[in-house]
Amino acid sequence: MSDQPRIAPKIVTACVVLIGDEILSGRTQDKNLSYISLHLNQMGVQVREARVIPDIEDVIVDTLNEVRAKYDYVFTTGGIGPTHDDITADSVAKAFGVTAIYHPDAMALLAAHYAQTGGEFTAGRKRMARIPEGASLIDNSLSKAPGFQIGNVFVMAGVPMVMQVMLDALSPRLEGGATMKSRTVTGAIGEGQIAERLGALQQRYPAVGIGSYPYFRGKSFGTSLVMRSTDSDLLDETQAEVIALIRSFGVEPEVGEPS
C-alpha cells in the first residue's frame, strides 16, 4: 500500500425516502430506488440510506426532519397526486414550518394542460398544484403536474416514468462530488476459507468497502469480492491484494462477476 498522502475526495451524500402505503403492503413494487441511486452515483452523489414510510403525516415530517439534517440531499417519491391520501406536499410544508399553497405557476401549467387535453380541471387535480410556500417547481414534461424543491429536499412523483423526467429536470441543480467506483474479483472458493484474511485486508484498507458475496451454480460454488471506493488507485491496490489472496489458496481468480 502506497505511503503517499492522498487528497480527501469531496463526498456528497443523499437519502431516498419512498412514501406510500402501497409499497409497504406489497401491492406496488418499487422501481424508483435503483434508478435514482444509479443516476445520482453517476453525478457523484452517493445514496447512503433509503427508507420506505407510510402515508402518515407525522412519520413523513419526522423522517424528513431527521434525514435532511443528516445528508446533503433528500429525494422523495410518492404522495403528490390528486387524491385525499396524497399528503406529501402538506407534510413537507409542515416539516419546514410553512404553509402549502396553490402555487400560481403550477396552477397555470395544469390549467393550460387540461384545457389543451379537454380534461376538467377538478378540485382533485388542483391539489397537484399545492406546493409548500417558498418552494421551487420541478418540471414534469410528461403529465405536467410538477414536483418541487424546498431546501435540500426534492419531492417527486411515485410513477416511475414521471419520476424519471423529474429527476432529469432537477439534476442541473445538484452539485456532485467524487463518484463511487467498484471492482469485482471472483474465485471458486468458499467465503469461510478466506474470511479471516479478508478481514485483515479490510483493516489495512479502511477507505475501501469490501463485500463478500457467495454464489452457487448447480454443484459449483464460489465467492465474488466487491471493492468500492472513490479512489481508483486505492481500488487497484486492493484488487491486486485480493487477487493474490485468492491465488494463495491455489485458486485462479477471475476479474469480474462469475462467468
Task: With cut-offs at 50, 70 and 90, classify the pLDDT of residue 32.
Answer: very high
Q: How many domains, the chain?
A: 2
Identify whether 75 is part of a domain.
Answer: yes
Element housing 202 (H / E):
helix 191-204
**Among the listed residues 196, 181, 149, 153, the one whose alpha carbon sits nearest the alpha carbon of residue 67:** 153
Residues 6+ apart with CB under 8 A from 244: none
**Rg (alpha carbons) of the chain, rounded to whole number:** 23
Predicted confidence band of residue 180 (pLDDT cuts 50, 70, 90):
confident
Query: 5 in a domain, yes or no?
Result: no
- HSE (CB half, 13 Å, CA atoms) of 129? 19
pTM attached to this predicted model: 0.85
Residue with cell 414550518: 97
- Domain-located, residue 99: yes
Same domain, 199 and 124: no
How much is the average pLDDT of 179-199? 92
Do 61 and 33 lie in one domain? The reply is yes
Q: What percent of the chain has pLDDT over 70?
A: 97
Query: Domain residues for 192?
Result: 181-255
The answer to whether position 2 is within a domain reads: no
Q: Is residue 192 part of a domain?
A: yes
Provide the CATH number for the domain around residue 234: 3.30.70.260
Beta pairing class for 153-156 and 73-77: parallel
Residues 186 and 159 placed together within one structural domain of the fold: no
Can you give the CATH number for the domain in which 21 is found?
3.40.980.10
For residues 207 and 165, state if they share a domain: no
Of 81, 87, 75, nearest in space to 35 by CA: 75
Q: Which three cell numbers stand for residue 130?
A: 399545492
Give yes or no: residues 204 and 103 share one domain: no
Query: Same structural domain for residues 51 and 124?
Result: yes
Give the three-state DSSP class for 63: helix
Contact criterion met (CB below 8 Å) for 224 and 186: yes
Per-residue model confidence (pLDDT) at position 77: 98
Within this chain, do residues 138 and 220 fall inside the same structural domain, yes or no? no
> Based on the domain organization, do 100 and 191 belong to the same domain?
no
Give φ, ψ of 57 to 5 degrees. -55, -50
Select from 173, 200, 229 the last residue of a domain.
173
Give the span between the Cα atoms of 58 and 90, in whole angstroms: 11
Assess whether 187 and 95 both reside in one domain. no
Whether 137 and 103 have beta carbons less than 8 Å apart is answered as: yes
Q: Are residues 68 and 168 in the same domain?
A: yes
Query: Which residue shows C-alpha cell 454443484?
Result: 219
7-24 per-position pLDDT tens digit: 677 899 999 999 999 999
Interatomic CA distance for residues 129 and 124, integer angstroms: 10
Task: Indicate whether 89 and 205 sit together in one domain.
Answer: no
113 and 153 share a domain? Answer: yes
Q: Residue 39 falls within a domain, yes or no?
A: yes
Residue 105: pLDDT over 80? yes
Q: Looking at 118, 148, 173, which one is the last position of a domain?
A: 173
Last residue of a domain, one of 134, 151, 173: 173
pLDDT at residue 1 is higher than 80: no
For residue 129, give the 3-state DSSP assignment.
Answer: helix
Q: Is residue 166 part of a domain?
A: yes
Mean pLDDT of the chain: 93
Q: Tens of pLDDT along 192-240? A: 999 999 999 999 999 899 999 998 888 888 999 999 998 899 999 999 9
**Is residue 1 in some structural domain?**
no
